[in-house]
Structure 1
Amino acid sequence: MKLRSIPLAMALLGLCGVGLMAVAQKKDEKEVSKQEKVAAALPEKAPAEAKKKRKLLVFSVTRGFRHGSIGTGKMALQMMGEKTGAYEAVVSDDLANFEEDKIKQFDAICFLNTTMEVFLPPKGQWNKMSDEEKKKAEERDARLKKNLLQYVKNGGGFVGIHAASDTFYKWSEYGDMLGGYFDGHPWRSNTSVSIKVEKGKEKHPIVANLNGESLNFKEEIYQLKDPYDSSKVNMLLRLDTEKSDMKVKGIKRTDNDFGVSWTKPYGEGRVFYCSLGHNDYIYWHPKVLGIYLAGIQWACGDLEVE
């Protein structure tokens, strides 16, 4: 009986192997499909000529929820820089890039769907650390925060995409720099929404590619909390409350003020934020990619805005 079961076991193992190969192949095909979609949606050229070779750090560490679209976002930002020549994307989650001697090499830093305390170890690792190790980790956390703040204040660019506002709740200076914190998403990833250009900003270089037209698709839209104040930022895009479902659950704001994208100065630096970026297809939406590219170029100092 045992001898007879050996061929059967081998056959089953073979079938499992074939099954795993098929799953891997489907995954590879899916990634190729995403790459093709991104490639087809990329802007033909940058809205501004780079004054010099630019370097963009794309950072996506998460200590809370991790978006499944992060991989697609990384791909899109890297491919867009390569095609247009606007910047070189350094896609890295290495915290060493925020040390004082290394952060200076970047013209802008992009927080792509980061969440929570990204400069500290994850909870599982933290719980296993000694008191001395925790002390060193906290010292590094404080040092890297200081470096990032000074980097932007001294003229660096900062780009926040989607969950960048779901980051560093315990560090109020970050919220002040970015312009607000995440306070829930009443409009879920499968909710149809309309995003309108802020009145009077139709010709602003970052959203000029929309020609004043709205973006209509299914996407997760945030509401924001303090220090969010739309009167203190250069608002570019908002949720159109007249064309979006306002009966969804979880709406806390009573002023219908749901900003989606803005710019703001921070010291000598430039901060660009856009909350679009939950769903994968946002990263192969031609008009959204055009906004990202213009925002990055503005943060780098190449796109001039009066």
Structure 2
Amino acid sequence: MSASQILVYTATAAYRHASIPAGVAAFRELGAAHGFDVHATEEPLRSLDGYDAVVFLSTSGEVLDAPGRSALLDHVAGGGGFLGVHSAACTEYEWPAYGDLLGARFAGHPPVQPAVLSVDGSHPATAHLPRRWHWTDEWYDFRTPPRDVTVLATVDETTYTGGGMGADHPLVWYRHHGRGRVFYTALGHAPEAYADPDFRAHLLGALQWAAARPEGDASVPDERP
């Protein structure tokens, strides 16, 4: 079987995260270790034919023209995967279909600080994580809670300062969109996150599921107590 083809898209038209190079390197290293080919670009999107999944890695602002928007929708409608990482939720505010695809829109965040996430381990992206996961990141608030998704991780606002969503604060989720698979993680602000084994395994499980590889079957048993 030929290797899965993954496109990592890193265009930014607003804030640009310093972690983007580390993120691209992490995806390339995961690809080399797990048998998928990774191509990274900031060029305008056109046809995504031949790609099993596209990753929006900390994209921001209005980065897609009309052909790029059509290419993305056609990709997902045709059964392709989409993985949004961190500020992918700060992207294409002027295009309602993108918000429908992703499930929620970024609203703001307090300073970077440690917090605790409650994790559902039923998915390949989270099966390896503790059910109470201590992590340091930029904790995103969203304009509204995500719609029509399965939530895999929420942050406990009592464990940090500045949260604005209350007791139900999703940060990681997945959904089916037509024939395609969509996964979003709000984590990944800092460059050092992409060297962390747990975070890398999180990205790997998300990507394998989105690309519909056999390893990405979202029926991983919960083996933790």
Confirm or deny a common fold (TM above 0.5).
yes
Deviations 1:193-212 (A, max 9, x none): 11220xxx3233221111x4
Equivalent in the alignment of 1:237: 153
Partner of residue 81, structure 1 = 31
In structure 2, relative to structure 1, the CA distance for the partners of 1:267 and 1:280 (3 Å cut) is same
Shift of 1:281: 1.3
> How far is the alpha carbon of 1:219 from its aligned partner?
1.1
Residue identity over aligned pairs, in percent, reads: 32
* Cα distance in 1 for residues equivalent to 2:153 and 2:51: 27
Q: What secondary structure, in the 3-state scheme, does the structure 2 residue paired with 1:183 have?
A: strand
What is the aligned counterpart of 2:49 among 104, 115, 118?
104
- Which of 108, 114, 120 aligns to 1:192? It is 114
For residues 62 and 8 of structure 2, the distance between their equivalents in structure 1, rounded to whole angstroms, comes to 17
Counterpart CA distance in 2 for 1:219 and 1:206 is: 17
Answering whether residue 12 of structure 2 is matched by residue 62 of structure 1, we say yes
1:180 to 104, 110, 132: 104
Q: Tell me the alpha carbon deviations over residues 74-114 of structure 1, each in whole angstroms, 9 at most, x when there is no partner.
A: 111111111222x111011121xx323xx112110000000
Following superposition, the deviation at residue 68 of structure 1 comes to 0.7
Residue identity in the other structure for 1:305: A
CA distance in 1, matches of 2:16, 2:146: 27
1:93 aligned to 42, 48, 58, which one? 42
Give 1 or 2 for the bigger CA radius of gyration: 1
**Aligned-pair CA distance for 1:182:** 0.4
Pairwise mapping of residues 157-236 of structure 1 onto structure 2 (< 5 A)?
157-186=81-110, 188-189=111-112, 191-197=113-119, 201-210=120-129, 212-226=130-144, 228-229=145-146, 232-236=148-152
Aligned twin of 2:187: 276
Question: What is the alpha-carbon distance in structure 2 between the residues aligned to residue 264 and residue 111 of structure 1?
Answer: 16
Give 1:252 shift.
Answer: 3.7
Partner AA of 1:118 in structure 2: V
Aligned equivalent of 1:142: 66
Runs of 4+ in 1 over 2 A off after TM superposition: 201-206, 212-215
Q: For 1:287 and 1:223, locate their aligned partners in 2 and report how far apart those are by CA, in whole Å.
A: 23
Aligned to 2:211: 300
Q: Which residue of 1 aligns with 2:75?
A: 151
- Structure 1 residue 167 displacement after superposition: 0.1
Unaligned 5+ runs, structure 2: 220-225
Structure 2 length-normalised TM: 0.91
- Cα distance in 2 between the residues matched to 1:67 and 1:229: 23
Deviations 1:104-152 (A, max 9, x none): 1211000000000012xxxxxxxxxxxxxxxxxxxxx112212211210
On the 8 A contact 1:152/1:270 being kept in 2, the answer is yes
Q: 2:128 is paired with a residue of what secondary structure? A: helix
Does the Cα contact within 8 Å between 2:11 and 2:41 map onto a contact in 1? no
How far does the alpha carbon of each residue in 1:34-93 deviate from its partner, in whole angstroms, 9 at most, with x for none?
A: xxxxxxxxxxxxxxxxx64101101111100000111111111111111222x1110111
Of 178, 191, 195, 1:267 maps to 178
Per the alignment, do residues 52 and 196 of structure 1 end up closer, same or farther by CA in structure 2, a change over 3 Å counting? farther
Distance (Å, rounded) in 1 between the aligned partners of 2:63 and 2:81? 19
Higher helix share: 1
**Deviation for aligned residue 1:214:** 2.6
* TM-score (norm: length of structure 1): 0.68
In the alignment, the residues of structure 2 paired with residue 82 and residue 53 of structure 1 have an alpha-carbon distance, to the nearest angstrom, of 10
Give the letter aligned to residue 233 of structure 1. Answer: V
- Displacement, 1:172? 0.7
Equivalence for 2:223:
none
